[in-house]
Amino acid sequence: MNTKKVKWKKNNLVFHLMLLIPVIILFIYSYLPMFGIVMSFEKFSPNLGFLKSKWVGLDNFKTLLLLPDTFPAVRNTLIIAIIKIIGNLIVPIVFALMLNEVKVKWFKKTVQTITYLPYFLSWVILGGILIKFLSPGSAASAPGFFNNILVALHIIKEPIYFLGDNNYFRGTMIISDIWKGFGFNTIVYLAALTGIDPSLYEAAAVDGAGRWRQTWNITLPGIAPFIALMTILSIGSVLNAGFDQIFNLYSPAVYESGDIIDTLVYRLGLINQQYSLSAAVGLLKSIVSLILVLTGYKLADKYAGYKVF
């Protein structure tokens, strides 16, 4: 008993040592910045620093409520993020079900390779591609490929400025985001589909169930736990409309429909140098996001038995 205890103690020492460097790095670059939250209660000035800047209590939050940019940013964030969440759930499930019916191996492999690819390209790159691809043309250059095709097919008469028109901007963000991720997001569902017992299909076929009935009564219930889990876990991103994407594709012309909380934080903080105001928006967003994520984790644990750690 005694020797066992000693050995366990030794084991744990090794564990502490292994975790030492990660813990220190997280302390410096994740925990120390959290103290910077005080600046959202100050009239922060870089020259005075965190300790000497003037304490103003909740003034920054009051200013926020009066800021004309606040309401559109919150509204746009919610609209864009929620539709993205729904699309990013449904499209991969449908695509996984369709791929699952494909029996020609090389075809399936090729499609998978191609559809996963956009996921690995940054929004800087995809931004560069899409700005040209979706361009409506200008005095100096002709419209992009997409507008040409739409005009050639008589779907539209005039080229559309997808990235500069408030009627189209949100839709473009949502569709291009789904386009980037749907292939990669099928991976988890395809894995779940291979886990379904094939004898269930055989039994159903013997009982005379057609393919649609089999999909409805065997396949979908088979992957339902994963669908539920992915839905619950996506609750946490209700305030994440996609900074990387929108920052690289928006312009002042579409602030009305495309400005989101994260881009507002960036502009307030780094462009307008209203550090405290920017930090206040960021803090509010972090708190709401934290509550949403934790709710998601709690529900996932309760209903799907899924523990994050």
86-115: contacts with another protein (CB under 8 A) = 95, 98-99, 101-102, 104, 107, 110-111, 113-115
Distance of CA 225 to the CA centre of its chain: 21
Number of residues in the chain: 309
72 or 269: CB nearest another protein: 269
Q: Is 61 in the site for another protein (CB under 8 A)?
A: no
Cα torsion 152, 154, 159, 165: sign: negative
Distance of CA 33 to the CA centre of its chain: 23
- Parallel/antiparallel/unpaired status of strands 42-43 and 54-55: antiparallel
Please, what is the minimum distance in Å from the beta carbon of residue 307 to another protein? 9
User: How many whole angstroms separate alpha carbon 105 and alpha carbon 46?
Assistant: 60
Q: Which stretch binds another protein (CB under 8 A): 7-15, 61-69, 71-79, 82-90?
A: 7-15
Please, what is the minimum distance in Å from the beta carbon of residue 302 to another protein? 16
Chain residues 159-188 in contact with another protein, contact rule CB under 8 A: 179, 183, 187-188
Q: Which stretch binds another protein (CB under 8 A): 59-67, 74-82, 133-141, 252-260?
A: 133-141
Distances (CA, A) of 274 to 39, 63, 73, 281, 288: 11, 11, 17, 11, 22
Q: Is 129 in the site for another protein (CB under 8 A)?
A: yes
Distance of CA 171 to the CA centre of its chain: 16
79 or 247: CB nearest another protein: 247
Q: Is 54 in the site for another protein (CB under 8 A)?
A: no
79 or 119: CB nearest another protein: 119
User: How many whole angstroms separate alpha carbon 47 and alpha carbon 289?
Assistant: 31
The single residue among 4, 68, 106, 120 that binds another protein, judged by CB under 8 A, is 120
The single residue among 45, 78, 269, 299 that binds another protein, judged by CB under 8 A, is 269
Coil, strand, or helix at residue 213?
A: helix
Q: Is 133 in the site for another protein (CB under 8 A)?
A: yes
Q: Is 270 in the site for another protein (CB under 8 A)?
A: yes
Q: Which stretch binds another protein (CB under 8 A): 78-86, 124-132, 166-174, 252-260?
A: 124-132
Name 42's bridge partners: 55
Please, what is the minimum distance in Å from the beta carbon of residue 151 to another protein? 11
User: How many whole angstroms separate alpha carbon 307 and alpha carbon 309?
Assistant: 6
43 or 79: CB nearest another protein: 43
Coil, strand, or helix at residue 42?
A: strand
